[in-house]
């Protein structure tokens, strides 16, 4: 059976690699992402008889097309479509970290928020109510300490339950200014006609409105490869 693919996303220094090591131990290898100088690390582990492949995405503060790191992370989430994207956030600076989490919630339904460094947060007197956060964000939230191996069982069980469909998510989606929402309404239908249900049409519409040329090119390649015809500049026509 094919392994479940779990991608680790998050800001730099949130403990992604520590969690990656905790979960995969020595069963990991590193190389480069195809055509990039960005490090690619993946590893395997088992839980309750299921096989998992864990992908440590580059740490980024956002997921636009600002750098190779951001492109690698966001292309993986949108185009490779991991079974679960685990957003690792730093429990000592939630506000800054939730920015990236909200971006991921716009891109996929299969998200779990993993609040790490919970030992540090507790030392600093920061109390985080994961249930309130979970109901506001519409996805599971799990507190862990990757370094002290705390909360890992709950995290693994949550992943398994999401994969089995025991947990339904309803990711929180940002509402933009009325002018922007108006534009989205106008364009999303055409975007969906081009990408079908394969990709998140609202998110793609937003990126196109933002003039994200790298994403535009990537979409053309993807659609051509999938044999949808994807005539060049079809997306450009949609936005012009």
Ligand X SMILES: Nc1nc2c(ncn2[C@@H]2O[C@H](COP(=O)(O)OP(=O)(O)O)[C@@H](O)[C@H]2O)c(=O)[nH]1
List interacting residues with ligand X (CB under 6 A): 10, 12-18, 59, 116-117, 119-120, 145-148
Number of residues engaging Mg ion in binding (CB under 5 A): 2
From ligand X, Mg ion, none, interface partner of 120 (C-beta below 5 to 8 A by class): ligand X
Instruction: Output the smallest distance, CB 122 to Mg ion, in A.
Output: 23
Instruction: Output the smallest distance, CB 181 to Mg ion, in A.
Output: 36
Instruction: Output the smallest distance, CB 145 to ligand X, in A.
Output: 4
From ligand X, Mg ion, none, interface partner of 97 (C-beta below 5 to 8 A by class): none
112 or 208: CB nearest ligand X: 112
**Rule CB under 5 A: is residue 28 a binding residue for Mg ion?**
no
Instruction: Output the smallest distance, CB 167 to ligand X, in A.
Output: 24
From Mg ion, ligand X, none, interface partner of 14 (C-beta below 5 to 8 A by class): ligand X
Of residues 80-109, those binding Mg ion (CB under 5 A): none
Rounded Cα distance between 169 and 8, Å, is 18
Which residue number is nearest to ligand X in terms of Cβ? 15
**Rule CB under 5 A: is residue 17 a binding residue for Mg ion?**
yes
Please report, as ranges, the residues that interact with Mg ion according to CB under 5 A: 16-17
């Amino acid at each position: 059976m094919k392994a479940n693919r779990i991608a680790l996303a998050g800001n730099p220094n949130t403990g992604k690699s520590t969690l990656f090591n905790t979960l995969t131990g020595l069963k990991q290898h590193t190389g480069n992402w195809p055509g990039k100088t960005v490090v690619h690390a993946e590893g395997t582990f088992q839980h309750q008889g299921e096989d998992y492949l864990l992908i440590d995405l580059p740490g980024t503060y956002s997921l636009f097309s600002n750098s190779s790191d951001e492109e690698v992370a966001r292309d993986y989430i949108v185009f490779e479509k991991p079974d679960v994207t685990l957003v690792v956030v730093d429990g000592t600076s939630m506000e800054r970290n939730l920015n990236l989490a909200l971006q991921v919630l716009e891109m996929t339904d299969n998200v779990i928020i993993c609040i790490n460094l919970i030992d540090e947060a507790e030392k600093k007197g920061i109390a985080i109510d994961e249930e309130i956060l979970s109901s506001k964000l519409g996805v599971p939230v799990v507190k862990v300490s990757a370094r002290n191996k705390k909360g890992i069982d709950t995290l693994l069980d949550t992943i398994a339950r999401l994969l089995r469909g025991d947990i339904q998510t309803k990711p929180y989606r940002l509402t933009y200014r009325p002018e922007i929402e108006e534009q989205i309404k106008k364009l999303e239908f055409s975007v969906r006609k081009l990408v079908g249900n394969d990709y998140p049409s609202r998110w793609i519409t937003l990126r196109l409105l933002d003039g994200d040329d790298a994403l535009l090119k990537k979409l053309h390649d993807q659609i051509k490869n999938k044999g949808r015809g994807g005539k060049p500049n079809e997306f450009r026509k949609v936005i012009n």
